[in-house]
Structures are given as structure tokens and as C-alpha cells.
Structure 1
Amino acid sequence: MPLRVNPDPSFKDALAAADRPLAGMWVCSGSPLVAEICAGSGLDWLLIDAEHSPNGLESILAQLQAVNGYPVTVVVRPPANDPVLIKQYLDLGAQTLLIPMVHTAADAAAAVAAAHYPPDGIRGVGSALARSARWNRIPHYLAGAGETVTMLVQIESAEAVQNAADIAETDGVDGVFIGPSDLAASMGLLGQQDHPDVVAAVENSIRAVKAAGKPVGVNAFVEATARRYLAAGVDFILVGADVALLARGSEALATGYVPATDTGPTASY
């Protein structure tokens, strides 16, 4: 007798149940071991990133398996708003996706369509072959799959800030995440995500998304900036990354034990 299982809770469930903003971190190393260490940290959520990290389908699958069973919600970011990638990530068992570079409501609608089976969308049907349905061990998966998916879209350009309300109001968008680094670059302020104009654009976007009735999140590695965005009302936030923690921690060891030099890392993110 095959084991019958239920899908894991999705991020929209965690957001709906939360009585405080949810704090998370990036997982960018591509390592299942590191992902598992982070999953047991006590943070609320992890973002497994494939846009700026050495992650392919196999490594994402291994990380999803490594963190399964830990009390943490997992979000996966594809490298692009591509229906083929979205289909593959969902079939791997990712239930919450963060789609980068969503500039318009039409971009958002395309992402939503890619995440849902017909007639609501264009997702290809392969549940008997896929971990998402536990190889057809989740009863009635096809009928209920849409309810298990959380679709987050990322505002990270000046154009997207102008369209923030329309993007948030797009049917099927469950939340909006703001990326200050690419936003700063699009505003001609490369590497200056704490510039007052960038912070103002982020806060304008927070207000627009909140007014649309959708959860809103942001990335902020500098604690003072993170606290400011929390005070502005964000519902979820990323406050660090595995690779950044390793880089800064190893540098701290070197500072303590190796004579200083004139070179050092350039701050970013």
C-alpha cells in the first residue's frame, strides 16, 4: 500500500498565520548541507536562490530534500520569469516561488499563469513524474495544486515602483518582494541601496502593496535599514545570506590572527 501524503504548508499560509514579520535569509551556496544548517537556525524562512547563485535543478532538489521536515518555510527564486523554469521548479516540489524582474502587471500575470494548470494557467501536467505530487501519492493533487502554490513577484526597478499597485493587484499574486540593489541600479545609484532616494522608493512601494491588501517583503542586510523597513510595515524580510555570513565570519578570523593589509572587501547588498 503506497504512502499517502499531504503537501507542505506554503508561504501564504505562514504569512496569514503570522502575528509578526517573518525573518529569513538567503541560501546561495548551492550546498544541501549549508541549507540544512540554515533550516535549523530558528529563522522563519529561507530563500534558495538560482538567479545569482550556482544552483541548477539537481542542487535545488537536493536542498529541498535536505530542509524538508525542519520548521522553516522555503522560497525558491528562479533565474528568470520563464514558464519552463517555473514548471520545472514546481515539479521539483517548490511550493513558493519568487519571480525576479517583474516590472509590470503583465509580467506578474505571466508568472501566475505559468504556475497554474489549465484552465487557470499554462503549467504543463506531469504530476505522475514529479516530486510535487510525490509521484501521485498526494490525493487529488491536480485539482488542488493551485492552492498549495504561493506566487511572490519581485519589484526591483524604477518602472516596477511606478507599477507597484497594479502588480500587487494582479489576480494570483500572493505577495510582493522589493529588491533594493537592482532598484538602486535602475535609478542610477549602483551599489547605493541605502541612498535616501532608493529608501524612499522602497517605502513608496511598501505603501502601494499594503494598500492593495497584499503582503510585502524586502531585502535589507544593514540592520538599521532592516529596522526601518520593519517599522514601515513589511510582512517578511531577508536579513542575511549564507555566503555573506561565511565571508564576514572568515574575515573576522583573519582580522584576529593575520596581520592587516590595505585591501578589503567592497560592501554590497
Structure 2
Amino acid sequence: MKWARQRALQARLFAGSWLNMGSSDTAEIAGLAGYDWVLIDLEHGSGDHKDLLHQLQALEAYPTAAVVRVPNIDAVVFKQVLDLGPSGIMVPNVETAEQAHQLISCVRIPPLGKRGAATSTRNSGYGFHYAQYLAEANDNLLVAAQIESRIGLANVEAIAAVDGIDVLFVGPTDLSIDLGLSSDPEQPEFREALVRIATAAQQHGKVAGTLVRNPQQARQYLALGYRFIALGSDRGMVIQGMKANAEFFSTLATAA
């Protein structure tokens, strides 16, 4: 989506969900449901490069921005993913400003970076809109850096200061484990870390984001200044629904 980055930076709340299953069906359902954005997960998800293409095609009909999480900072992977035309990219465990500069160089087209551009790929309308894409790509791509470690937290202000980083996205499970804390946003020490990240984002004109487990956490993070929030995942929702139905049948059988 051409304006996804601008919408994400300006919205009071940019609400999304996680897509772990590599399924074009759940991607389409997310678009129909009306999410502002979804995260297509190539780090811990089940899908591959071909699944990514089908998920992006399924979302094309809806005003839902597709952000793709890659496994690490890899220029080749960035190029392959961005050639398919997502609205944004998320990079796990960014720990230093140097890493942030490296990832920005990999995703930006010259003269602002080192990413190559091809004339016949999906992101440029298979060549029909190549000149327009070339002119607008650097401004339109949303870039999220995940803060998931003690080192990343220590360097969060320097990471936030890097031009091109739009979202500081907390990985609450990994960050809490590395800090030796509970991931409860009301736990004082973890809350202090969350406030530090949100403050760094605000001071540098960026957005703070995270993945939450329930509506209560969404409210807690919003109150802390987080505006780029994902609630749950397709895999989690399927697990919850199937588990609830199975438990119902178990109860029904016992009562019968």
C-alpha cells in the first residue's frame, strides 16, 4: 500500500495482527476483517517465499498493509521480499545503531542505499509502473526494528535516531527473557523498559509498537504511548477456537 507508512506514522492507533501460518486464506480473512496492517512472519512462521507472494496477492483487494518480518539482516533476503511489493519490513533483534544503518542501506534504493531494483518485478507492477516505483519506494516503505534484548534496550536511543527507522517494535517475550523479567507490562522493571523505548521513539519522531496477547494488554501499551499494535495471530486464534470447541465436546460427552 502506497500510503501505509504515512498512515502508520500519523495514526493514534495502527491496529494489526500476526500471520504465522503461511496461508493466503487467513491473509484474505484479515483483510476482510478490516485490520490496518498484518505481519507476515518469515522468522517463526510456517510460510516460504512462494506463500508470501500468495498472501500479498490475497491482501491486494483490501486497505490492509502487509509488513513482512525477515529472519535477519540479509541484503539478498531483503531484495527477494521487497521485489514482491509489501508495504513494510520488520527486522528482529536490532541491537545497535550500526545494525540499523546496515538494514536501512539494504532496503533503500540508491542513492540512499544499496538495494538493487529490477524493472519487471511485482513491486513495480511488473514494469508497468517502474519509474513511479523507483521515485517513491524510499519514501513509502515502512521499516520496523525490533528491540528484543538487553543490548538493544541499552542502545535504543541511538537506534531511534537512525534515519529510515520508522517503528521501534518490542518483542515482549524475547526482551523480558533477556532482561530476566516477567513480560507483564505492569511489572515495574519491565514497564520501565517499555517506557524508555516509547520515549526514544517519540523523541525521534518514530512510533513504538508491540505484539499483545489480549485486549487488556493492548490498552496498557496504548497508555504507555505504543500506537503500532498487533493483537494475536492466525495460528493462535485457530488454536483457541479448536481448543474451546474440543473442550465443549468433552464436557457435552460427559454430561450425556
TM exceeding 0.5: yes
The 4+ residue runs of structure 1 with deviation greater than 3 A are: none
- Is 1:138 aligned with 2:139? no
One of 93, 97, 105 as aligned partner of 1:105:
97
Query: What residue ranges of structure 2 are gaps of 5+ in the alignment?
Result: none
Which of the residues 168, 180, 193 maps onto 2:183?
193
Identity over aligned pairs, percent? 35
Letter in 1 for 2:250: V
Q: Report the counterpart of residue 74 of structure 2 in structure 1.
A: 82
Greater shift, 140-149 or 41-50, is seen at: 140-149
| Structure 1: gaps spanning 5 or more residues | 1-7, 261-269
Task: After TM superposition, give the deviation of residue 75 of structure 1 in Å.
Answer: 0.9
SS of 2:33's partner is coil
SS state of the match for residue 226, structure 2? coil
Aligned residue runs from structure 1 range 165-184, under 5 A: 165-184=157-176
Does the aligned pair in 1 maintain the 2:198–2:207 contact within 8 Å?
Answer: no
Q: Distance in 1 between matches of 2:23 and 2:207?
A: 29
Q: Is the 8 A contact 2:65 2:87 kept in 1?
A: no
- Correspondence for 1:30: 22
Alignment check: 8 A CA contact 2:9 2:206 kept: no
Of 114, 119, 123, which residue of structure 2 is paired with 1:122? 114
Amino acid at match of 2:6: D
Check if 1:240 corresponds to 2:224.
no
Deviation string 1:113-141 (CA, Å, 9 cap, x unpaired) is 00112221110232x23111112111512
- Alpha-carbon deviations, 1:123-165, whole Å to 9, x = none? 0232x23111112111512233212211111111111111111
**1:14 equivalent in structure 2:** 7
Preserved CA contact (<8 Å) 1:117 1:146: yes
Instruction: Note if contact 2:31-2:59 (Cα within 8 Å) is conserved in structure 1.
Output: yes
Q: CA deviation at 1:86?
A: 0.7
Secondary structure of 2:232's counterpart equals: strand
CA RMSD of aligned residues (A): 1.7
Corresponding residue for residue 265 of structure 1: none
Contact 1:158 1:186 in 2 (8 A): yes
Q: How far apart, CA to CA, are the structure 1 residues paired with 2:58 and 2:100?
A: 30
User: Would you say the 8 A contact 1:92–1:130 is kept in 2?
Assistant: yes
Report the counterpart of residue 4 of structure 1 in structure 2: none
Are 1:210 and 2:202 counterparts?
yes
